Each structure stands twice: as C-alpha cells, then as structure tokens.
Structure 1
C-alpha cells in the first residue's frame, strides 16, 4: 500500500473535463447570440443623456421643451431680443429689470443708445456669453442683446371702463377670442393704440399673453395700453353689455359690413376671433352685431392683426364725424 492508502499500481482519478475540451463542456461552447444594439445596452440612456447635456452647454442643437413653452409661470420674467426691439422697448418706457449684452459685441448706435437709456433708468447691465442669450431668448434672434421684462401685471376687465370714464371719452375696448399668437396680440396693440382704444381684453386660457414676442411686435405700445385678463371671456362680455356697452364681433361670416354698423359711435367692445375658427359660439351669442370686413371674392381671409386694424380704423373714422 502506498502512503496515501491507494494501490501503488492504480492511477488516481482526476476531476474536471476530459482532455480535448479546452476546459469547457459542449454547452458552454455554444455562442451567446448576436451582439445587442447600443440602445439595448444598460449604459445607453445615461450616455445619450450626457451627450445631450454637453450639446446644450456648447450651445448646439437643443431638444424642444414644450412643457416650458406652454406652461411658463405667470411670475417668471420674459425677454425681448434684438437690437431694434430692445431699443424701441426702452424708448417706450417698457418696464425692465435687466439688460443683457453679449461679450465682445460689435457695438453700433442701437446698442450704445440701449445701454445709455438702461443706465439712466437704473436698469441692471449684465455682460454674458452668447450661449446664455440663446437660452434666455429660447433660441430667438437676439443680435447680442436682450431685455428682461418682469411678468405683466394684468388689469381687471372693469378697469378698462374706468380708464375711458377718467378721460371723459366713449369707451372702446378690443377683446381677443382665442388669439394664440403673441405677434398678433402685439400687432393688435399697435392698432388699438393708434386708433384710441382704451385697452385689450384677453381670456386667461387658450390665448396669447403679454410676452416678449408681444412686446417685440407692439413696438413698445403695450407700455401705454392696459391689458385686462378675464377668467371667463363670455362672462366678462356679458358684464360689459349689462353696463351699457355694445359688443361687435368680427367674423368673415358676419351679416353686416363693418362700415355700415350704426353702433360705432357708441360705447363699444370689438371682438376679434382667432384665425381659421373665427368667433366661438358662446362669444358670438354675446355680440349685438357680427360684422364682416368686405373683400374681393378672390382674397383670402385677413389675419387677426390686420382685421383688428381695419375695424378700429372704421370706428375712429365714424367717431371723427
């Protein structure tokens, strides 16, 4: 007997796979299948997120953020970008809290005048990168300069009537029914100011508000024209009627030409409907007259800003007689 208790002529049995298998059994030699695509790997989402953040920091292509655009906080400031719009807003006395100027900007008279007016009004002057301006203006054209304006302080609908009474003038108010483009709001504000309106009335939902885009298109006229906001436009129009003000709605399907309406010299609210849909049913029911702007048959319908300008011109023309 050997010392280990085994017979000296019998080989010891080895554990593990037999020779020739390479240390692996047949099942383990089978392949694991095709390599999974990148989007199925556990690290893909983290890597994609990191690359997106890096692009945003470099000022590259950014993914749209619809939630921010649609649900901007009412207390959040807004921005007017562009050399002409910024200068016009400052000259018109638009309330502003800061003027942002790009580093190493190519100065011209508009930039110098904007900086001078901002300094005279005590508006903070901040030098920032162009990437910062891109983010503040949400990708808009800023030309190296942007003006920060605080959230607009809307009036109550009844205040617009008080403004007309304070000036001993016949009330003229422009109401917007589901006008969602802030540029149209700004254009209507310009026409309303030019033709003597005492204010704009907008609904609090499904409507453009006084944002940077509206300020830009209004060329500063929103600084002298009050904008009221109603939780329910139909109810506000009903209260106007009960106080003795007539309601005229603008709609391509109206039964009377705007120049032939015999109420234009009376206390008046002119309601401008949205493009495409026109006046909503409930608003139409509150109108004393639904008027149209006569056009040649081949002409397309006018947008809200142009339609408001034509109607307000007719009102002003009749009141001058």
Structure 2
C-alpha cells in the first residue's frame, strides 16, 4: 500500500488507473484550477474526495511537500519484459537503469524519458531505488503512466533484448567509449545508465554492444546521472 502525495502524482495516478484506488484526501478550502482538474479525474475514476486537515496529510507523508493532496492506493504494477517486447513495432527506445539508488534521480529520468518519447524504462527489482511515492513526486507523476519494466538480472535482460534485435548502448567513461554524437542509434536501441557513484558494473559493460560518453568541455569532471541521461536520451530520440 502506498500514500501518494502532491497534485501531479495523484492526478496522473487517477488518470492512468493502474493502481487500486482506496481513499483520496484534499485540504479544505476553495480548490485551485489544478486541484479542480484532479477532482474531476477522481470523479471519473469513481472516487469521492474527503476533506482532511493539513496536519493529517503531513503526518502521513512525514512532512514532505504534499500540496494538500493525499491518495491511498495499491502498489504500482510493472510490465513483464517478454510481454513488452512482444507488443513492439520495428522501432523502440528503452532507458535501462543499472543500480540507480537515488529516488530523485530515478524520478527525474522517468520524467525526461516520458517527455522525450522513450518507449519504456527498465529497472532492477533490487539494489536500486524502489518505485516509491518519492520517485513519483520527483517524476512529476510520470511514473504513474510511463511503461516501467522490472527485472531481477540486468545481464540476462540485455541478452534477451539483443536476441530481439536490440542494440544496447552503455553510458560509461572508458577507453572503449565513443562520443555519443557520433552514434546513429539502431531501430531498436537500449540505453543503460549506471550507478551514481560507480557507474556501470563490469558485467554490464561487457554485455553492451557499444559504450558511449559525453565529452567534457569544461573544468567539471562529471555530470549528474540524470542530466547525462537527459542529454543522451535527447540524442537517441531525435527525429530526422
């Protein structure tokens, strides 16, 4: 069971209707235009909003920025990799996360992936940030509607994707890496982003078909993984 908070995550959860919806609380007073949209979505989903004191909502989410909205709901269901691949056309873009631990990074990357038109994101079930309300808030609600696949073994997932005509690119600073701008992504492409501190694991690197890097132009040694993912995804989703 989850307690989603914030207007965007709750609104998107109501629209996507992927979760089992239990109870909805909103702060008292005249609703803002965005909250009015949320309430209309709740009505369409068959939910009646209850008025709740702000302290009640704050206690449920431990003081996080809730914007006066709280939704009690079931856990977010995710996709099976085989089923997702079976549903694809000839072209696909897949964001793959290798042990990304910071929920803010995961949420930000999901938001960017949804904005840029990636087809889905693939994540590990363990040793990475779980799909929490914090991730949903950081994603501005994108987590609620964007296709997300969870697997237990990334190396096996890469092998399976490669057997289904995916070319897998890994973001990594190594001697074998090429400038990402020189890459013309294949019709089916996966982009793997590594852990915030250690990058891609060695086995993940070996499984990738090509390693890519973002050339440094200034004095900073590296980028935040979410920023790097955004630059790479923008390249991978560009249209002629």
Q: 1:97 aligns with which of 18, 22, 29?
A: 22
Structure 1 residue 147 corresponds to structure 2 residue 71: yes
Residues 125-175 of structure 1, C-alpha deviations (whole Å, 9 max, x = no match) = 2333333312321331213222233201111122232232xxx34122111
Match of 1:119?
Answer: 43
Q: Which has the higher strand share?
A: 2
Q: In 2 relative to 1, CA 94–240 (structure 1 residues): closer, same or farther, beyond 3 Å?
A: closer
Structure 1 residue 190 corresponds to structure 2 residue 190: no
Match of 1:248?
Answer: 169
Aligned positions of 1:135-174 closer than 5 A: 135-164=59-88, 168-174=89-95
SS in 1 for 2:87: helix
Residues 101-125 of structure 1, C-alpha deviations (whole Å, 9 max, x = no match) = 24x4564333343333312321242
- Name the TM-score, length of structure 2 as normaliser: 0.86
Q: How far did residue 231 of structure 1 move?
A: 1.1
Structure 1 residue 205 corresponds to structure 2 residue 126: yes
SS in 1 for 2:138: helix
SS in 2 for 1:299: coil
Report if aligned partners of 1:273, 1:279 keep a CA contact under 8 Å in 2. Answer: yes
Q: In 2 relative to 1, CA 159–308 (structure 1 residues): closer, same or farther, beyond 3 Å?
A: farther
Report if aligned partners of 1:89, 1:216 keep a CA contact under 8 Å in 2. Answer: no
CA–CA distance in structure 2, aligned partners of residues 289 and 299 of structure 1: 25
Match of 1:27?
Answer: none
CA–CA distance in structure 2, aligned partners of residues 116 and 242 of structure 1: 45
CA–CA distance in structure 2, aligned partners of residues 84 and 191 of structure 1: 15
Q: In 2 relative to 1, CA 149–259 (structure 1 residues): closer, same or farther, beyond 3 Å?
A: farther
Q: How far did residue 310 of structure 1 move?
A: 1.0
Report if aligned partners of 1:273, 1:280 keep a CA contact under 8 Å in 2. Answer: yes
SS in 1 for 2:49: strand
Match of 1:259?
Answer: 181
Report if aligned partners of 2:24, 2:47 keep a CA contact under 8 Å in 1. Answer: yes
Q: How far did residue 85 of structure 1 move?
A: 4.6
CA–CA distance in structure 2, aligned partners of residues 194 and 163 of structure 1: 21
Structure with bigger RCO (C-alpha 8 Å, 6+ apart): 2
CA–CA distance in structure 1, aligned partners of residues 41 and 188 of structure 2: 39
Report if aligned partners of 1:161, 1:171 keep a CA contact under 8 Å in 2. Answer: no
Match of 1:272?
Answer: 193
CA–CA distance in structure 1, aligned partners of residues 84 and 112 of structure 2: 17
How many corresponding residue pairs?
238
- Name the TM-score, length of structure 1 as normaliser: 0.66
Aligned positions of 1:303-318 closer than 5 A: 303-317=224-238
Q: How far did residue 229 of structure 1 move?
A: 0.7
Match of 1:39?
Answer: none
Report if aligned partners of 1:93, 1:220 keep a CA contact under 8 Å in 2. Answer: no
Report if aligned partners of 1:105, 1:144 keep a CA contact under 8 Å in 2. Answer: no
